[in-house]
Amino acid sequence: MKVKLAPIACFSALLVLSACATQPEAPDRGRSAGVTDMDAARLKRLGKKFQEAGEWQTSMQFYSQAVQEDPKDPDIHAAIGRNFFEMRARDAARQSLERALALDPYHDEALITLAALSIGDHAPQKTLELLDRLHKKGRGTAQSYNLAAIAHDLMGQPLMARKAYAEGLVRSPDNPDIMSNMALSLAISGEFDAAKDILGSLSERASAANKNEGGAPSNAAQENLALVVAMEGNAEEAGLIASQVMSVGQVKVNQPFYDRLAYLAPQDRAQAVFLGQLPQQEDSVAEAIIAEDTEEEAKTADQDAAVVVVELADDLGTQETPPISSANLEDMATVSDKVDQTLVKQDRAGPEQMAEAPIAPTPSAADESVIDTTDEETGDEEIPGYHLQLGSFSSEARLQRGWESVKSLKVLSSFVPLFEQARSNDGEEVWRLLIGPVSGYSAGRDICDVLQKAKAACVVLPEKSDVETLALED
């Protein structure tokens, strides 16, 4: 049995949950002239704008009317499912997503959102089955591979997780969500120094970027560093690290969580850091972990979502949806134009935190043992290796030319070129140019920084096992 915890940190971000907005006023039925001229495409476009801005309920108004116009459009059902998901209405989300997949079994958004939902349902195997539909067709994304990696971590498959994180990074180099999750994955396997190396690099780069852009600093790396330090067995230090970016109340709620992390088996650690859940204890310690105010907040959010489900579920059936009034539509369209100007699209990657009491998962049989990362003689942790990808090419001849174009750079003088054959998102065979391995993420990142200043491509990836040496032409 598992116990639900107060939110600990932004562990990952694929489809991040947010609090429900205030329920919009009912449309004025007396001022609906002209709205019937709106077709499904226009309604979808407006719904998508508000969805991308995180205005889930406003978005739902447009999508719930769009589905009346075109009930067989899988895009609409997938978008409605995504909105329900974000509002923590899990059952309604599942129904809409399954409708979308009944219409299009390979619908990208429906598969990814349902895969994220399945992680929250303690069904990582189902997550992998859903994502496999995309990956086999060469349509994998940074989001889908990040989710697949988390699923492998939850199933006790760290090597498979690392391969999935690498595929995600190929598609979105230096993606902070993927890197942060990979750091947690390393810590789950006991590679604490490697995890701290990644998070330290992420924190430095985020601080530099925020300083240059004048933005607020991101706390995600620091919050996850607290988790890593707690897994290492330093719960007190974890609380001190967390206190730099969290309120006193949040740290107090999280401290019992930090206290237990080091004593969990790897799969239980994965459940804890990715889902915010600990195994139930025999005594009453678990009760102290749940913060009263956080529990009340979660209940309120669930009630708000339930109201939305009741009011909108019929829209997906046979009952007629009240049309959006012309006045309201004009106001919303004006807002949507502003949304267009300010919206920053984010590649969100990770499962949502649980909103309701979870069901105890069936233990998954791990097909890999936990990676032993310590030196038997000294007891010191081994530093993991990383390969650096310098480009992806459509033929071996182009691969050769790619290496010729960069080999004169001083930073590459000690490296032998390697390559890996893979499939692109279009299903085409590609050749990836690699060098390495180098010891530690920050060492790889330093080399990439030099290469990128020289206008050369470079991505840091977990060490690969299936690489070959590039035979240089005379």
Q: Are strands 2-4 and 385-393 parallel, antiparallel or unpaired?
A: unpaired
Handedness of CA 396, 399, 404, 407 (dihedral sign): negative
Q: How far apart are CA 28 and CA 450, in angstroms?
A: 60
Q: How far apart are CA 357 and CA 3, in angstroms?
A: 8
Global confidence as pTM:
0.71
Give me the residue label for tokens 């598969």: 111
Q: How far apart are CA 14 and CA 172, in angstroms?
A: 13
pLDDT of 204: 84
Flag residues of the chain having pLDDT under 70: 1-37, 210-218, 281-382, 473-474
Q: How far apart are CA 313 and CA 254, in angstroms?
A: 36
Give me the residue label for tokens 């650690």: 269
The pair of three-digit structure tokens given for residue 85, joined into one six-digit string: 């998901």
Contact 114/94 with Cβ under 8 angstroms? yes
Whose CA is closest to 383, among 193, 189, 202? 193
Q: What DSSP state is assigned to residue 99?
A: H
Cα of first residue to Cα of last residue in the chain, in angstroms, is 64
The pair of three-digit structure tokens given for residue 366, joined into one six-digit string: 């791990």
pLDDT of 113: 97
pLDDT of 307: 55
pLDDT of 370: 40
Angle subtended by helix axes 124-136 and 108-120, to nearest 10 = 160
CA 424 from chain center: how many Å? Answer: 21
Task: Give the neighbor-by-neighbor strand order of the sheet with 385-393.
Answer: 459-462, 385-393, 429-439, 418-423, 468-469
Q: How far apart are CA 241 and CA 235, in angstroms?
A: 10
Please give the domain boundaries of the chain with CATH numbers for all domains: 2-340 (1.25.40.10), 385-469 (3.30.70.1070)
pLDDT of 214: 58
Q: How far apart are CA 439 and CA 382, in angstroms?
A: 9
pLDDT single digits (tens) 121-146: 999 999 999 999 999 988 999 999 99
Q: Which amino acid is at 110?
A: A
pLDDT of 281: 58
Neighbour count for residue 467 (Cβ, 10 Å): 17
Q: Are strands 459-462 and 2-4 parallel, antiparallel or unpaired?
A: unpaired
Q: How far apart are CA 7 and CA 277, in angstroms?
A: 9
**Those residues with Cβ within 8 angstroms of residue 207's Cβ, 6 or more apart along the chain or in another chain:** 217
Contact 11/350 with Cβ under 8 angstroms? yes
Q: How far apart are CA 236 and CA 261, in angstroms?
A: 12
CA 253 from chain center: how many Å? Answer: 24
Strand segments, DSSP code E, in 106-237 are: none
CA distances from 10 to 273, 352, 353 (A): 10, 10, 9
Q: How far apart are CA 86 and CA 198, in angstroms?
A: 29
pLDDT of 413: 92
Whose CA is closest to 83, among 315, 323, 327? 315
Q: How far apart are CA 391 and CA 114, in angstroms?
A: 32
**Those residues with Cβ within 8 angstroms of residue 353's Cβ, 6 or more apart along the chain or in another chain:** 7, 11, 17, 120, 275, 276
Q: How far apart are CA 270 and CA 182, in angstroms?
A: 12
**Those residues with Cβ within 8 angstroms of residue 473's Cβ, 6 or more apart along the chain or in another chain:** 400
Q: How far apart are CA 177 and CA 351, in angstroms?
A: 11
Contact 430/394 with Cβ under 8 angstroms? yes
pLDDT of 218: 65
pLDDT of 424: 75
Residue 401 half-sphere exposure, CB side, CA atoms within 13 Å? Answer: 6
